Amino acid sequence: MTPSIPPPHGNRTGGRRRAGFGVLLAAALGLAIAGCSSSDEDEYIERSVSELYNNAMDELAQENYVDAAKLFDEVERQHPYSVWASKAQLMAAFSYYQDNKYDEAINALDRFIELHPGNRDVAYAYYLKGLSYYERISDVRRDQKMTVNARQSLEEVVQRFPDSKYARDARLKLDLTTDHLAGKEMAVGRFYLERGHYLAAINRFRTVIEEYQTTSHTPEALHRLVEAYLALGIEDEAKATAAVLGHNFPGSEWYIDSYELLTGRDIRPEADEDSWIGRVWNSLT
């Protein structure tokens, strides 16, 4: 039996650049060690681990990120078995990240994670990798590979280190990546709908409902499904979808539009600015 379509009610409801440098630098400085002051010697001349590391930290503090990364890499090259070699790997990745060299940062982080899976800073490595993808999320009209990668990396942070100080921020950023992916599906679905490719449009809108139903795009996706089903003459499916929309988002503008499509009745109040209900309605919409 086809679900009944209740009349709309209620009020209409509407639903980065990088993490702060101070926060990341504070984590970075926590890896610093005491040692010799900087040297003017050529960087390829063998030097002590403390000299190399602290010179690298000096370059980082002065925002000379490429030079800092090279010096951190040199720590590992010259002193691969020292306790500071792993820390230098992570700091090199951080330096690349600060210089927007995200691919280099990810490569360094992957190597760190592979070599030091039990390191106390591995949670930060996963988090920084997620940020290196997250910073490159593009407009929904473009390819969303970076968004997918960001989502996967941030999910790893939450799943592997749920109690870490990085998990909370990762969860917040996951909400954006999920909404972004849903937005991409909506953009493609609208494209197909406008051109009369109704089955292709339905597949996109169903993806939003099935995979991204907690996002702000869900009410519109349901309404667009009603439009597509009616265009194909599948009225029972249109009514069933509208019933779901009405049950979950009874006061939304999208349900009001769907209700009008199915019944021919526009239940919006007259836009009479002198009337009380008109003023209230306009303030909500």
Dump pLDDT digits (tens) for 104-160. 999 999 999 999 999 999 999 999 999 999 988 876 666 788 888 999 999 999 999
pLDDT at 19: 45
CA distance 155 to 149: 10
Do 147 and 85 sit in the same domain of this protein? yes
Q: Which of the listed residues 153, 180, 207 is the one where a domain comes to its end?
A: 180
Sign of CA dihedral 40, 41, 42, 48: negative
82 pLDDT higher than 90:
no
Would 101 be classed as within a structural domain? yes
pLDDT in tens, 63-74: 999 999 998 998
CA angle 74, 56, 17 (to 5 degrees): 115
Would 14 be classed as within a structural domain? no
pLDDT at 265: 74
| Beta carbons within 8 Å of 249's beta carbon, 6+ residues apart | 13, 218, 219, 222, 255
Do 53 and 157 sit in the same domain of this protein? yes
- The boundaries of the domain holding residue 208 are 194-284
More confident residue, 33 or 171: 171
5 pLDDT higher than 70:
no
CATH number at residue 112: 1.25.40.10
pLDDT grade, residue 274 (50/70/90)? low
Sign of CA dihedral 59, 63, 65, 66: negative
Would 3 be classed as within a structural domain? no
| Beta carbons within 8 Å of 60's beta carbon, 6+ residues apart | 25, 28, 68, 91, 94, 95, 98
- What is the chain's mean pLDDT, rounded? 80
**What are 148's two structure tokens?**
């997918």
pLDDT at 123: 95
Rounded to an integer, the average pLDDT of 186-207 is 94
Do 206 and 133 sit in the same domain of this protein? no
pTM score, two decimals? 0.66
Would 258 be classed as within a structural domain? yes
Count of domains in the chain?
A: 2
pLDDT grade, residue 250 (50/70/90)? confident
Rounded to an integer, the average pLDDT of 27-35 is 48
Do 53 and 175 sit in the same domain of this protein? yes
Do 55 and 176 sit in the same domain of this protein? yes
Do 219 and 121 sit in the same domain of this protein? no
- Contact at 8 Å (CB) between 234 and 257? no
More confident residue, 28 or 207: 207
Q: Which of the listed residues 120, 147, 180 is the one where a domain comes to its end?
A: 180
pLDDT grade, residue 85 (50/70/90)? confident
pLDDT at 208: 93
Do 98 and 166 sit in the same domain of this protein? yes
pLDDT grade, residue 53 (50/70/90)? confident
Q: Which of the listed residues 147, 180, 213 is the one where a domain comes to its end?
A: 180
Nearest by Cα to 94 from 171, 185, 32, 141: 32
More confident residue, 162 or 180: 162
Do 95 and 200 sit in the same domain of this protein? no
Do 198 and 164 sit in the same domain of this protein? no
CA 172 to mean position of chain CA atoms: 8
3 pLDDT higher than 60:
no
83 pLDDT higher than 70:
yes
Do 198 and 170 sit in the same domain of this protein? no
pLDDT grade, residue 77 (50/70/90)? confident
Do 69 and 126 sit in the same domain of this protein? yes
Would 37 be classed as within a structural domain? no
